[in-house]
Amino acid sequence: QLARIQTDSVVEMLRELYPDVHFEIAVAMSTTGDKILDTALSKIGEKSLFTKELENALERNEVDLVVHSLKDLPTSLPPGFTIGAVCKRENPLDAVVFHPKNCGKTLNLLPEKSVIGTSSLRRAAQLKKKFPQLEFRDIRGNLNTRLKKLDEKEDFSAIILAAAGLKRMGWENRIGQLLSPEDCLYAVGQGALAVEVRAKDQEILNMVSALHDADTVLCCVAERAFMKRLEGGCSVPVAVNSTLSDGQLYLTGAVYSLDGSDSLKDTMQTSVNYSQQNEDGPNDDVQHVGITAKNVPGQALRAAENLGVELASLLLSKGAKHILSVARQLNDAR
């Protein structure tokens, strides 16, 4: 349902921009990540869990564009594909949805040993450290399934979900607590929608590039470059927070051990205050961590990408590789 709502919203924007073009939502597909619900995401071991089947359809020309949650897209796309648009970001924070009996509470007011559901190693690692009195357990399934599991059983006192998904579903009233970046840094790309297209399909690429939100693109390029340099994925706890203000891009990035006891975190900034005019030569189709952003200044994109790489390199120089490889081994052994 959420995937459909997200796709509809992108198609609606395209219809407004191109009233003469006929857009058809041809296919609703299930992906590997949707089908395997009895295993933690971090254990399935497939890089493109939510994207492979959709990319196959793109490759076979059955569809011309695919709408994803950006956080589901790996930092390196298969050859021949690119992210042609990153739409304006919804609130990227994580949200706590409480069991009806805990309505009005916050995480620190829950009784000791209360069980919190999350399928994300990143959320669990940060919250275990912050709320050692609580227990964290895997919960899988789409939003509808997870909310049903929460409401109809007594297994969970609360579950953690992305605020953006709840908002898009019209369930904002279920958010009992928004977790600030101090409580819980979010996932790379969280809250942003990406439109994936065939890299050589100039007509479609030009069309969807009108959907780019420049600020969101720059933040997400920095976040994705950070993740890529760390070689992070959903099998290790990597988290970010990025903000853009007065032409300065600020990126906070962190890595965690599985139980959150060991972590490294730092913040860096760079100027992205460049105009489109002073571009040297054609670099229309340069990809930055899988994103082709035709209408965002190339110098700004390069600065954002370098910021992510430099921040990751800083954490690696302080020992991030060790934290992540231990987390990966422990996760594999679970």
How far apart (Å, rounded) are the C-alpha atoms in residues 55 and 61? 10
Given the residues 38, 72, 183, 262, the one annotated as active site: 72
How far apart (Å, rounded) are the C-alpha atoms in residues 106 and 102? 8
Q: Would you call 72 a catalytic residue per the annotation?
A: yes
Q: Residue 334's CB: how many other CB atoms inside 10 A?
A: 9
How far apart (Å, rounded) are the C-alpha atoms in residues 250 and 261? 25
Q: Give the chain as a 3 state SS string.
A: CHHHHHHHHHHHHHHHHCCCCCCCCCCCCCCHHHHCCCCCHHHHCCCCCCCHHHHHHHHCCCCCCEEEEHHHCCCCCCCCEEEEEECCCCCCCEEEEECHHHCCCCHHHCCCCCEEECCCHHHHHHHHHHCCCCEEECCCCCHHHHHHHHHHCCCCCEEEEEHHHHHHCCCHHHCCEEECCCCCCECCCCCCEEEEEECCCHHHHHHHHHHCCHHHHHHHHHHHHHHHHHCCCCCCCEEEEEEEECCEEEEEEEEECCCCCCEEEEEEEEECCCCCCCCCCCCCCCCECCECCCCCCHHHHHHHHHHHHHHHHHHHHCCHHHHHHHHHHHHHHC
What is the token pair recorded at 217? 């693109």
The set of catalytic residues is 72
